Amino acid sequence: MQEKKLSVGLLTALVLGNMVGVGIFMLPRSLAEVANPLAILWAWILTGTGVLMLALVFGNLAIRRKDISGGPQLYAKALFPEHTKKSTFAGFLASWGYWVANWVGNAAVITAFTTYLSTFFPILNSSYIAFVIGNVEFRVGNVLSFLVCTLLIWSCYFFVLRGVEEAGKFNFAATAAKIAGFIIFIILALTVFEYSHMVPLNQPYTEPTGEPIGLLRQVNQAAVLTLWAFIGVESAMVFAGRAKRVSDVRKATILGLLIAVTFYVIITFLALGALPQEQLLKTDKPLVEVLQMVLGTSGAYVMAGLGLISLAGSMIGWVLLSAEVPYQAARLKLFPPVFSKVNEQGTPVFALLCTCLMMQVLVFSVISKTMAGFYNFLILIATLASLIPYLIAVLFQLKLVWTGETYTRRRQRIVDGIIASLACIYAVWIIVAGTADWRTFGLGVILIGLGLLVYPWVHEKK
């Protein structure tokens, strides 16, 4: 059966759908917790510039090394001589880390979906104690949220089983719907926007202990969160092997990024200006609150509905991405061979099953945590885990520039070298800023370290 290829439109929808999903609905509140408006503005500027450099690297590599498709993590193998233990181990570990980042990120998307669903079903927020096991109290809202998350995971599983192209078309439709909704939101939010809610721009922030937090530290904290909004920018690169034309990968990556950053900055600051900070910090659905101010309860339902459509598209896109990573790795002999198994529709069935099982294990934490706290915890792990393969792709680009491989013009080598150097500086900065939280960093290391238990099943044909 001939495999159907993805057009530039579907590739752009995957990039945009994966990025413009959970972040745009939850970030205004998360950012307000750690930074003032001036720090948030600087975080967006630095993150947008840094991610643009990463996107240019991704697009360039897709064209210069057409033989490597499946995601930025696969460049780890190419950093070392082919068919060596170093090459195989580096490729496996990077692929494993990237896979972890994706299914952890998808768990965050599913958590956000359940949060927005509570607008229609308030019982999901119920604090009534359902039962107690030992010293742990299980509340009705947490238990029901866990059941909803479980239903969503396995609904995605059966939907994606129908085929990558069908799932891609759904993602495209959801992306089109969310963009139309965001335009409506921007127009309506302007009617309640008040600049006074954001001044002074450099508002003082303090620790719970009363210690002041400087502007630079606020920017560092906000920059880690704003990067989460762009995780998925490499989606077209992961599906490069399924693209109609390799050049479409670069076009889809840049186009998706530019559309996403425009919506992110505008909507974030509209939310900051529409809601007083006290109200913003208390809500886990800031965009719903804004439209409720404009249209009342009906406005809240409209925004929550748009949020659910957007997040549904993101869930499908992230599940597609998560299953594709180990599948492409297995094809290159970097994952156990069973991960390369596909069904008649071309869907990597075993990789998809393992992805959903890992997400299922992770969402068990929903039972004992608040949804907002669980969400913030997940996005930190997913963001930091994603940065490792991003940095590897940048290092591989620098290797090409240094050796001159695939280059015939010196000027182009210099330009690409500058872009890759800026992307490298940005990635290292975010990793250093993000690892300040040792609890999150430690869990991330454990999740990636678990891959060492799977590595013995990886066999490369000599």
What would the pLDDT profile of 25-52 be if each residue is shown by its tens digit?
Answer: 778 888 888 888 899 999 999 998 998 8
The full set of domain ranges for the chain reads: 8-391+427-457
* CA 294 – CA 278 distance, rounded (Å): 19
Measured over the CA atoms of residue 65, residue 70, residue 72 and residue 77, the dihedral's sign is negative
Spatial distance between the Cα atoms of 400 and 63, rounded to a whole number of angstroms: 13
Residue in 3, 93, 149 with CA at minimum distance from that of residue 325: 93
Cα–Cα distances (Å) from 308 to 112, 118, 269, in that order, read: 9, 11, 22
The pLDDT of residue 460: 47
Measure CA 101 to chain center: 8
- Whole-model pTM: value is 0.79
Q: Rounded CA gap, 50 and 73, in Å?
A: 18
- If you write DSSP's letter for every residue of 31-55 in order, what string do you get? HHHH--HHHHHHHHHHHHHHHHHHH
Q: Which CATH architecture has domain 8-391+427-457?
A: Up-down Bundle (1.20)
The gap from C-alpha 205 to its chain's centroid, in whole angstroms, comes to 28
Tens digits of residue pLDDT in 247-280 = 777 788 888 888 888 888 898 899 989 988 888 8
Stretch 299-305: mean pLDDT: 84
Of 185, 187, 141, residue with least CA distance to 310? 185
Query: Mean pLDDT throughout 376-402?
Result: 84
Q: Is 191 helix (H, G, I), strand (E, B) or coil?
A: coil
